[in-house]
Amino acid sequence: MQRLRITLRKKLEKNLVEKIATRSTSQIFLSSQKYNLTEIISSLHKLNRFPLLVIFDSTPGKSEKNLEILRNALIENNINTGVGIYFRHDNDTNGKPFNEQISQFEYNQPLNNNTTVAGITNLKIPKFLLKLKWQPKSVLVLAQVLNSNRVKLLTNYCDLVIHYQDKKPLKEAIEEIV
């Protein structure tokens, strides 16, 4: 009897793919304490939610850390091409390692219709992103705050925006997936 209850409970629990697919709003929060980025990228891949727009924090240290986590998640999911990061930091002691990582990972590809993952900062949208009419099927927000109204507007046009941080943003319309 105990074994039957455990089996039924597991069947009732949804996996991340099902949770994302059955969300009630376009804006969701996934805690970095509960989910790893590899699992999220895998879920997006299974749901055919690429191309993906990734919004980074504007500070060099956070950008560098998140770029490394993103790279590992993409490699784990066999996404090795079509990645472009479309912002740079000042070439000082803080920003230079991030800029060098982009080159080292070959994430300095031009944006085109074959771009699978595009990364921008939470401060502004590159003009060529708007001119090419490249449209993401999902957005992954790694920044705590979207500092630009234009970046906020861009996320509003997408029907799946995942906020991925350690704390839920204060915005009320964001559904927390647990």
**Average pLDDT, stretch 114-137?**
91
Mean pLDDT score across all residues of the chain = 90
**8 pLDDT more than 50:** no
pTM, entire model: 0.90
Whole-number Å distance between alpha carbons of 12 and 30: 20
**162 pLDDT more than 80:** yes
pLDDT tens for each residue of 31-79: 999 999 999 999 999 999 999 999 999 999 999 999 999 999 999 999 9
Domains of the chain are 14-176 (3.40.50)
Question: CB under 8 Å to 23, separation ≥6 — which residues?
Answer: 160, 175, 177
